[in-house]
Structure 1
Amino acid sequence: MKKIGLLPRLIIAIIIGILIGSYLPEMFTAVLATFNGIFGNFLGFAIPLIIIGFIVPGIGDLGRGAGRTLALTAMLAYGFTVFSGLLTFGVGSNIFKYILTPGSLSIGNVDNPEHSLVEPLFVVEMAPVMGVMTALLIAFTLGIGIAAIEGNGLKKAMNEFQQIITKMITAIIIPLLPFHVMGIFANIAFAGQVGEIMGVFFKVFIVIILLQFTVIVSQYLIAGTVSRKNPFSMIRNMMTAYFTALGTQSSAATIPVTLGQSKKNGVRGFVADFVVPLCATIHLSGSTITITACALAIMVVNGMDVQMMDFLPFILALGVTMIAAPGVPGGAVMAALGLLQTMLGFNDVLISLMIALYLAQDSFGTATNITGDGAIAVIMDKLTKKEKKEAVTA
């Protein structure tokens, strides 16, 4: 199954889950619900560890590098990421209320007995070692502290802790996700709401793809204006990197291709060699679009109140948290789970739906991320040329 790839495995899991929930006795769905309960509790236990394991080294790494160039690159990446989230909220909040049916799903809502979910046969409690907000505060405190004092000892320890958490995600969580998704869809099918959720999947997918292409064009229009180059020629050059990322679902694995295509766009070698690997870690406009759109859609169909003042701090925090996203399929949504719980009020069922929705579209978000990395490289190439010229003049 590992050779099939994550997305095909998810599709197979969804189909099997729908068949189990629709045609087999309730006991089969109850068994899957039991697995989901155990897996969900383990995920709840892991979320604070994921937050600390990724955010601390992610922010700590920003304390090193090439000074002003690093700061400018980080500001551009953060600006593009936040812009993508705000654009997604603006479009989604106006479109989803027309193309989706507000309150149509209400999965896991105790006030909706008509579509109640199957209860697990038993529950295994796995209490997290700390709350999500506590983990966030500890992570930001340690990360900023390491960056400020350049603490090598603690940084090395946190990097090793990050490796442990990454191994937990790649060896346990990601391989078990298809079975978790199978249980989710078996339960949804048993509750008679599979049609609604599949409709949500399709509509949200279309909106996300359109938003991602809009952001790519916007980024290269800015890059073209700054560099006085044809933005559409630069986009055409980056399509090789886009489709490579689409296949690998990994920004890290696509770095060599992104480097080559950025240099074809006229970016000087030493600038591309610095900016592209850095942006593969800190620039996640495509992933932010997917997370924001999926969260917004789930809230709409679940009848939850959607307010700009709830999403604004979520998007601002998401832009920072995305720095922590590991370079593995699904890494971005794993890093964002704590924010979804604390800022948007997602429960375990909604978190599971969020993961399923996100992973079905993860490769397109990754492709958008790395294509945008090329635009940032073009802008930074122009800015560093200007700085060099000003320094020579002075």
Structure 2
Amino acid sequence: MNHLPEITATRRRCLSVVVFTALSTAAVFPSAVGRAETAPRWTGTWEAAPSGTAPALPGTSIRNVVHIGVGGSDARIRLSNRLGTAPLRLDAVTVAVALRRGGSAAGAGAVPGSLHTATFDGARSVTVPPGQDRVTDAVRLTVPADADLLVTVHTPADCGPATYHRTSLQPAFLARGGNHAADTPAAAYTHRVSHWYYVTGVDVLRRTAPDSVVALGDSLTDGTGSSYGTDHRWPDLLSRRVRELPAERRPGILNAGISGNRLLRDGVGPSALKRLDADVFSRTGVRTLIVFEGVNDLKGTPPQTDPGAFVRAYRRIVKEAHAHGIRVIGATLTPFGGHSAWTPAREGLRHAVNAQIRSGVFDAVADFDAAVRDPGRPDRIRPVYDSGDHLHLDDAGMAALAAAVDLTGSGG
């Protein structure tokens, strides 16, 4: 059975902070990344962190639509039963390039000739024990950059609670009453849901820069507030920005955001501290981690009141990441004045935590607070960036976060 990819434990140089368009930004992609590769290697290009479980869908083909950044000559898929309680039986897994219309997936239909069957050590079916993931063999599929893939699984029987990512912000498609995993047309896929079932990662085989960046966060990273079906989460927009770089320096951007997630406590999904191994270190080719976690700890129940607890957690993340040869960028916590959970005390704590983030806890800082706060009311986000609840960002706000990450490498 395939083993999960290992990450080289080579400590990387720390990054310094650079100033770009009047914002404090993080040099995530230093020029040292731009190295020629002599042989193809795997890199991560898409991720969804498991956030909970849903009822099983026996006898159903589940067609997940996933938007990838960097492309490659082959693909492999990570499937998860991490939160399940019984063995997960999949008797068919296929991968295809989605038909597109208007820049996004047109539905459940595949580009003719692009649909391929995925195998596991040569077998077309797999049983995934509870608490574990499996990665497919290489699928001989040319994956275009900035494309939508269809990852379809068929579950022949009730295997108990299904591991899923609840907030996909785009539809997945269900075909009931038979195995339709190999269907190229969309006709059988008559039911829509807004979750990703079982699929939690896509890797591609590349000849250059097989490196990836993980964005670890909560709903602000998961995309809440951005437009449905447009891939306007800030990691998606950062992935589009890296197209400004030479081809050999374009990393995959992996979104490990979970709506409702916390830094210090379990809630929706394990805490950020507890999911580092599964959602960061096990991913392919990771060299940079962006940590944007803590707002839910400020406003949650019970709320965290000790800024030292945040600092200790951040330092632990940095220490563990460095042991895996990964640099860490800390993102400052964005304002939420006007939200029902805001209080002056929580605003004071946010400032205290941000002061610590800016003081050198991380290898570098992405000042997301400065990128979106209202200069006239710095406890609030700019009205033009406000999705309406005074906490989550709209498409323009997501773009502001993506723009606050430096691509020049001048600080490296």
Shorter-chain TM band: under 0.3
Q: Which has the larger radius of gyration?
A: 1
Which structure has more strand as a fraction of its residues? Answer: 2
TM-score by length of 2: 0.21
Which structure has more helix as a fraction of its residues? Answer: 1
Q: Which has the higher contact order (CA 8 A, sep 6+)?
A: 1
TM-score by length of 1: 0.22
